[in-house]
Structure 1
Amino acid sequence: MHGVYQTNIVAWAFGNGVMSQSLVNPKQRSILFLVLPYMLQKAAANRVKSRSYLAFPYGVLSIATYLERQAKVNVNVEILDLNLYDLDDVSIVLEKTLEACKPEFVGISMMFDQSYRYVGAIASQIKSWNHKAIILLGGASATTAWDEILSEQSDVDALCYSEGEAAVSELLASSDPFMALQKDPWVTRESLKMMRRPRTTYVDHLNDVVDIDYDLVDTSVYSMKEAFSPFASYRKENDVRQFFMVTSRGCPFKCVFCAEPSLHGASMRYADIDAIIGHVERMVDNYGMNVLTFYDDQLLLDTKRAKELFRRLTPFKLRLEAPNGVTLVYIDDEMAFLMKQAGFDTIPLAIESGSDHVLNKVIRKPLKVNKIKPVVRALQRNGIFVQAFFVIGLPGEMDEHREETRQLIKDADLDWSGFSLATPVRGSALYKICKEKGYIKEDLGIGEIESNKYIIHAPDLGLEAEKITQQAYQMNLDVNFVNNRHMRLGDYETAIRCFEEVIDRYDNHAFAHYYLAEAYAALSLRPDAVIKNRRRFTELIDQDNDWRDYAASFGLLAEPASEPSPPKHAIS
């Protein structure tokens, strides 16, 4: 069946459950792993951000890989990724899969909050098929809502808190799964009654999971998407073979908006360099990998390790990316050089704010603004396109602090900036603050928090949805389009690639069309493209009042929008 993958070991994305009886034969187990739908509709371009691409179920594959080497029993596993089907077909596909594989355990992977809406109906269908089936729920979003889900989902037997590799292995090996589920990291109704707070069971050494076995899925059905960059491989290559890799877990920092410490802990754990390189060799040989995406939260923290990793990756001539962002304090001239040599053409820096007050007192991030510009220069000297991530609308951040951020972006001469609205995700300190102070709804349900909507409401602090959303997007338009660095420098080729990258993602982005026309006109190239994009800009501002208001605020409505003409950037 398309989208259903079978092997003789387990693969799923975290979970745990309460079982009402022991299974007879602990030497043979069967489990079905379901990846819940998470795909979003393509967002409007004049919203802060959204995500909508079909990624490998990495959490599922990580547990599968661990069990492939560590399982003490024979396990028959199937993986059903529901994102590969139309929502209208999910029930039928699930029914056929259950009948075909008849699993004893069903592990449901919930990595994103927007997937929660599907849990109830899917769990109910499984119990209707076989009320003895043990339903386990896990994943990042399940972990951060561990104390709420079981009261709402009567058909879910148990939940796995954080990492699932070791926990699932022990559960499947147990002759009495019910007893196994009474231990950490499992959350059951019994443990909740006892008010026992769960603790995760970590994989001590990531060598056991870093060499992901991608044969467990059909890699051809996944539409991986490179992070934003004017140098993304898909722009010049027809055959982009991109794969994920996580070489470390944990984060010692305690940024107010981040839930990472509740997922993987504060202590760092690493895969050895030899294990990483061995995996890369196999991915290149077996799959023709040419783009490697690191999803580590702290790729550079161990600087000696990071530099050695980049030295040894250089001969592979891969394109490397780190879309989670990197911590800039670990970048010196040598690190910048090695990153470029290894295959990074774009680096996103997790800066978060241009205000020392916000960084140190609000976010609790150990970074000083005066450290930013030298790192940006070091990266740019080595030919790396420098992005930065910023969070807007945190309680304690005032208008003057957001203006400091805007000025920092311009002073540091960043190539591109990404803006996120402050989101009080469960498991973060920000969520606790917002709940205690009444900045979010008391009855805010699981799945109601969306990363592209601002839900904090604190008028006394100047934090209201319309104001913060508008400020964040105006900053985006200002620094990335109106005052785009490459337009100012006369590097119109790079500017064109940036604006085309935006349009590839959001065809309805009025400013991208406007400035793409300006860049082409500055080069006296493609008058047809100049006219086409200026016409598209006019259409969009005529159709959408938000775009018209933004255009008016930056004085674009007075500019000619029909015939090519030299842009103002060509003069300055």
Structure 2
Amino acid sequence: MAYPNLNRLYLIFPPSTSPASWEPMVTIPMGIAYLGASLREAGYEVGLLDSVVEAPYQETTVDEHISRFGLTYEQIMHRIRAFKPDAVGLSCIFSNQWPAVRELSRRIKAETPEMPILCGGAHPTFLSELCMKDAPVDFILKGESEESLVDLLGRLRDGRPVEDVDGLVWRENGAIRQNPKTGFIQDLDKLPFPAHDLLEPERYFKLALPMAYEFKSPRNLPIVTSRGCPCSCTFCSSTQLWGRRYRVRSAENVLKEMDWLVERFGIKELKIQDDNLTVNRERAKKIFQGMIERPWRLNWNTPNGIAVWTLDEEMLGLMKRSGCYEIILAIESGSQEVLTKLIKKPLKLEKVREVNRLAKKVGITRTAYFIIGFPGETREQIDRTVKFARELRLAAWALFIYNPLPGSELFRESLRLGYTTEESFFEAGNQYFSTKMSSAEWTATELEALIRREYVLSYFIGMIFNPADFFRRYFLFLRYRPSFLKYFAIRTWRTVMLQLKNKKPETKPARV
């Protein structure tokens, strides 16, 4: 079918789903920002809708513990009608966004059955056939799709066959067909900078709700300087989404975007969202040295974590001088056996201790991510992780419960062993703080109680051993976001009460 008038595209980031006691995180959705820029460069009229920033405190109850934050479905439909697009694109980065994407696609198709609906993101990339069966989506584009989206739209507009579009999933004569994702953009410098202007950054600045909540200035924006990962961690789907080759933007191109962000939007801080910012050490040093030499000064941190094994005193010192005030250490486990044999993460705990010590020496705040409850993990190994997190005396740490991520090796293993199903869409918003699995050595209830206890304890340890960081953080929260006090009090109170009462009934989840 040809769509000769296909010229006007509306890309939508859906509402967020999270625990009801949380304050929502609101950050520019880089996926649709990059796609919007590529479409605009190709000559299309583009509109971007971030359903969260439009109504961050508008809360729709999903169940007793879970809420959806952002525009309601009908409000989103009203925006679509007002924009009058020729096609709609729905972003679905996280699995717990799928129920919203599914409902929106059904409403759009019921109201405008001839208008093509496109979908992309990690969840439909890895569960594409199931998503096509579950929702009236016309096309799914796997993985990064700045080039494949432009290719697809050109073919639809000209009435040409779509069967050669890289990573495309589509319907043909009642059947679902799909192409593998084989093409990844090698020259990232040729991509236009994200279309932040279509999302109005001032709204994000006023809200001061960045990713991981940490900031020094509310005038912060994200930046991504690399894609892909050279590692093969079994719990992670990054290599399947972005490819196994680590691809980078040149230091010159990255610094040019930083110049643009300062001049165009007046930012004071960067959120560097790379998974592996410092893997290419020479490029990283060029970026940091360029930041030092610039007439502006930007604070920055790494909300997605950083590759600990790439850091040393020289690198950390350069990072500090370039404006880095916090690194989030993606440690995952305090058990070397779990790291090496179970999740195959190329990290030594002795290196973590060294980097933690050196970062403190140069004046960089350290926080960390940990995961417990991996299939096959023993209670002793879990206890080692908790002990290790405490021993590091970090400013803060986050302890998550493992849930199989579609596209990861452990997800495929969990499917094979019957621990999960493809239909488990993580409907609950707290997918990182609860689980449906247990083992002979631990239960879901025990891990959830442990998470609650450590959540409270991490604040006390951070306050005792890093008082300056602790009070600076909460002073900024209260200065720019007084509502934080309400959510912090509610969340802490509920956590303490649940820990003391432990009312949650014991369940009989799948054994791992």
- The question of a shared fold, defined as TM-score above 0.5 by the shorter chain, is answered with yes
Check if 1:548 corresponds to 2:500.
yes
Query: Residue 111 of structure 1: which of 75, 93, 106 is its match?
Result: 93
Distance 1:486 1:191, change over 3 A: farther
TM-score by length of 1: 0.76
Check if 1:131 corresponds to 2:100.
no
Decide which structure has greater strand share.
2
Check if 1:63 corresponds to 2:35.
yes
Counterpart of 1:409 in structure 2 is 389
Task: Measure, in 2, the Cα distance between the counterparts of 1:192 and 1:295.
Answer: 40
Say which SS state the counterpart of residue 16 (structure 2) adopts: coil
Check if 1:274 corresponds to 2:269.
no
Distance 1:403 1:463, change over 3 A: closer
Check if 1:465 corresponds to 2:444.
yes
Counterpart of 1:372 in structure 2 is 352
Counterpart of 2:200 in structure 1 is 218
Distance 1:320 1:544, change over 3 A: closer
Say which SS state the counterpart of residue 90 (structure 2) adopts: strand
Query: What is the identity, as a one-letter code, of the residue corresponding to 2:51?
Result: L
Contact 2:189–2:249, Cα closer than 8 Å, also in 1: yes
Aligned pair count reads 480
Contact 2:302–2:327, Cα closer than 8 Å, also in 1: yes
Distance 1:386 1:171, change over 3 A: same
Say which SS state the counterpart of residue 426 (structure 1) adopts: coil
Task: Measure, in 1, the Cα distance between the counterparts of 2:420 and 2:448.
Answer: 16
Show the 5 A alignment for 1:8-407. 21-24=1-4, 29-38=7-16, 40=18, 42-43=20-21, 52-69=24-41, 71=42, 74-83=43-52, 84-85=54-55, 90=72, 92-153=74-135, 155-174=136-155, 175-177=157-159, 179-180=161-162, 183-190=165-172, 193=175, 196=178, 198-209=180-191, 211-222=193-204, 223-226=207-210, 232-234=215-217, 240-314=218-292, 315=294, 316-407=296-387
Task: Measure, in 1, the Cα distance between the counterparts of 2:98 and 2:459.
Answer: 36
Show the 5 A alignment for 1:439-450. 439-440=419-420, 443-445=423-425, 447=427, 450=430
Task: Measure, in 2, the Cα distance between the counterparts of 1:245 and 1:451.
Answer: 26
Distance 1:449 1:259, change over 3 A: farther
Task: Measure, in 1, the Cα distance between the counterparts of 2:197 and 2:213.
Answer: 29
Say which SS state the counterpart of residue 419 (structure 1) adopts: strand
Task: Measure, in 2, the Cα distance between the counterparts of 1:467 and 1:435.
Answer: 23
Report percent identity of matched pairs. 25
Shift in Å, 1:410: 4.2
Shift in Å, 1:60: 1.0
Show the 5 A alignment for 1:508-519. none
Say which SS state the counterpart of residue 187 (structure 1) adopts: strand
Say which SS state the counterpart of residue 348 (structure 1) adopts: strand
Shift in Å, 1:285: 1.2
Check if 1:487 corresponds to 2:492.
no
Query: What is the identity, as a one-letter code, of the residue corresponding to 1:76?
Result: E
Counterpart of 2:505 in structure 1 is none
Distance 1:436 1:103, change over 3 A: same
Counterpart of 1:474 in structure 2 is 453
Shift in Å, 1:119: 2.8
Say which SS state the counterpart of residue 342 (structure 2) adopts: helix
Unaligned ranges ≥5, structure 1: 1-20, 45-50, 235-239, 514-539, 551-572
Shift in Å, 1:391: 0.6
Show the 5 A alignment for 1:421-436. 421-436=401-416
Task: Measure, in 2, the Cα distance between the counterparts of 1:324 and 1:166.
Answer: 25
Say which SS state the counterpart of residue 366 (structure 2) adopts: strand
Shift in Å, 1:409: 3.1
Contact 2:167–2:178, Cα closer than 8 Å, also in 1: no
Contact 1:163–1:200, Cα closer than 8 Å, also in 2: no
Bigger drift between 205-214 and 418-427 goes to 205-214
Map Cα deviations across residues 151-190 of structure 1 (whole Å, 9 max, x no partner). Answer: 111x211111111100111122225456125532111234
Query: What is the identity, as a one-letter code, of the residue corresponding to 1:251?
Result: C
Unaligned ranges ≥5, structure 2: 61-70, 503-512
Task: Measure, in 2, the Cα distance between the counterparts of 1:487 and 1:111.
Answer: 37
Say which SS state the counterpart of residue 96 (structure 2) adopts: helix
Contact 1:41–1:52, Cα closer than 8 Å, also in 2: no
Shift in Å, 1:453: 3.7
Say which SS state the counterpart of residue 310 (structure 1) adopts: helix
- Report which of the two structures shows the higher radius of gyration computed on alpha carbons: 1
Say which SS state the counterpart of residue 324 (structure 2) adopts: coil
Shift in Å, 1:228: 5.3
Task: Measure, in 1, the Cα distance between the counterparts of 2:269 and 2:477.
Answer: 20
Shift in Å, 1:30: 2.2
RMSD of equivalent CA atoms: 3.1
Contact 1:106–1:134, Cα closer than 8 Å, also in 2: yes
Distance 1:210 1:368, change over 3 A: farther
TM-score by length of 2: 0.84
Say which SS state the counterpart of residue 34 (structure 1) adopts: strand
Task: Measure, in 2, the Cα distance between the counterparts of 1:114 and 1:404.
Answer: 30
Shift in Å, 1:343: 0.9
Counterpart of 2:64 in structure 1 is none
Say which SS state the counterpart of residue 346 (structure 1) adopts: strand
Shift in Å, 1:93: 4.3
Task: Measure, in 2, the Cα distance between the counterparts of 1:455 and 1:420.
Answer: 10
Task: Measure, in 2, the Cα distance between the counterparts of 1:132 and 1:319.
Answer: 48
Shift in Å, 1:303: 0.7
Query: What is the identity, as a one-letter code, of the residue corresponding to 1:266?
Result: R
Say which SS state the counterpart of residue 40 (structure 1) adopts: strand
Bigger drift between 178-187 and 442-451 goes to 442-451
Contact 2:228–2:245, Cα closer than 8 Å, also in 1: yes
Task: Measure, in 1, the Cα distance between the counterparts of 2:393 and 2:79.
Answer: 54
Say which SS state the counterpart of residue 271 (structure 2) adopts: strand
Task: Measure, in 2, the Cα distance between the counterparts of 1:91 and 1:332.
Answer: 48
Bigger drift between 310-319 and 115-124 goes to 115-124
Distance 1:193 1:129, change over 3 A: closer
Contact 2:50–2:199, Cα closer than 8 Å, also in 1: no
